Amino acid sequence: MAVTLAGCQPLVEFADAQQTDDSQPEKEQSRLQTQIAWLLLEAEDAFKERRLTTPEGDNALGYYREVIRLQPDNVEANQGVEQIVEQYFIWAHRAATQQRWGKASEYLEKAQQIKPDHPGLKEIADLIKQGQSK
């Protein structure tokens, strides 16, 4: 919309510039949401393919952490990180019950690197210690 007064130039440039500035944050937000959606899909695929923390640059944890960097309160990404820790916990427990102490220790270490305060990790660590001392 242009407004003109007698003897004045139209304000079209101002109106157009204002519309561009107003839509810029919306475009950025849309780009961000698209990027987050893509990262979450990649994370889900990586998780299903058991690429939890490796290979570097193409793993579920890396994708979830990137989402959290972009949007710290993203529920899906935070739950995804929890699922990774939980999966390592399950694998560590299974390996320990099969007396595969090396594998159990490896899975435990990966879980501890991601979330050292996970409530079940101490239990697995104690189980591994007991088993290795026999």
Per-residue pLDDT of the chain (134 residues), as tens digits, is 444 445 555 444 444 445 555 678 899 999 999 999 999 999 999 999 999 999 999 999 999 999 999 999 999 999 999 999 999 999 999 999 999 999 999 999 999 999 999 988 999 999 899 988 87
* Residue-level pLDDT at 25: 87
Q: Is 84 exposed, middle or buried (0-12, 13-18, 19+ CB in 10 A)?
A: buried
Q: Are 74 and 36 in contact (CB under 8 A)?
A: yes
* Residue-level pLDDT at 13: 47
* Residue-level pLDDT at 120: 87
* Residue-level pLDDT at 11: 46
Q: Are 42 and 63 in contact (CB under 8 A)?
A: yes
* Residue-level pLDDT at 9: 52
Residues 6+ positions from 35 with CB-CB distance below 8 Å: 70
Q: Are 89 and 118 in contact (CB under 8 A)?
A: yes
Phi and psi dihedrals of 41, rounded to 5? -65, -45
